[in-house]
Each structure stands twice: as structure tokens, then as C-alpha cells.
Amino acid sequence: MPQTILIVDDDAAIRLLLRAHLEAQGYACAVASDGSEALALLGISQYHLLITDLDMPVMGGLELLQEVRSRGLITRCIVVTGYATIGNLTACLREGAVALVPKPLRTFELLDQAVALAFEQTRLWAVQMKAIVQMKSNPSALEPRRDDARR
């Protein structure tokens, strides 16, 4: 089953460009034109990754990140914006974004790196969650072994 990505941008050309690029890499993509439409989609489907513009009418990307975080949705987020500033980067990272990729996208290199980073974080979280579940189901695994106690 392919990993799923929700692309949110008020510019239809950007939505189509990102969708075509990511689908060519094997991802399953859905699109939304603003944050409010994205929240509706997030309410009915789960996405592994959310890629959003920052400046959009109705609900912008930062507000969308805040809503995703407040609702406890487990999805990684990347912001792609024409307003790439240190202030916006800091605000987005505070709200849980993995990366901020500046527009215009002259190449897809930075976006591809951010997508790879987001999916690597997701993979590592799954490994950690599995370890936690195993420890909770076997509390004796937390006790030091006799060999470890001598060191």
C-alpha cells in the first residue's frame, strides 16, 4: 500500500505540479485548496504526510498545523511557501513541521529531502512504539540482567 500525502495549496498549478511529482515517485496523493478543506479530508482519511502552503485564504498553513497538532493527528507536516523567513520557519517548527521548503521550486531536491526526512521520522517512531509496547507487555525486560549488574 503506498504512503499517502495530502497536498494543500490555494494555487491549483502548484497542487497539480506537486501531485504529479509525488505520484510519479509512487505516493498516493490527495489535494485541498485551503486549510479548512484539508481538515475536512483529515477527518475522513488518514494521511502519512501533509504538505501545505503557508499563505492561503480561509485557513492558512500555520493555523492548519496548529489544528492538526491540537487534534492529536499523527501525520508529519512540511510547509512549502513563498514566504520563507526565519520567523516563519521557527513558527512552523514549533507547530510540528518537519521542514519549510521555499517557493518557487526550481528543483524538487529540497522537497524530496524533506519528504524522505518525514518518512524516516515516521519509521523511527514506529520502531520506538514497538519497543515500548514490548516493554509494557514484558516488564521483566526492564530489569537488569545479572551480567549487566556486574559491570
What are 70-117's pLDDT values in tens digits? 998 888 999 998 888 888 889 888 988 999 999 998 899 999 999 999
pLDDT tens readout for residues 7-57: 999 999 999 999 999 999 999 999 999 999 999 999 999 999 999 999 999
pLDDT average, residue stretch 110-127: 89
CATH class of the domain at 4-150: alpha beta
Structural domain spans, the chain: 4-150
Neighbours of 25 (CB within 10 A): 13
* Residue 143 pLDDT level (bands cut at 50, 70, 90): low
Helix (H) or strand (E) segment spanning residue 146: helix 146-150
Cα–Cα distance measured from residue 36 to residue 61, given in angstroms and rounded to the nearest whole number: 10
SS3 content of the chain, % helix, strand, coil (to 5): 55, 15, 30
Measure Cα distances from 94 to 8, 27, 44, 123 in Å: 19, 27, 26, 21
Identify whether 139 is preceded by a cis peptide bond (ω within 30 of 0): no
CA separation for the pair 118, 75 (Å, rounded): 9
Give the pLDDT score at 72. Answer: 87
Question: Cβ(48)–Cβ(119) under 8 Å?
Answer: yes
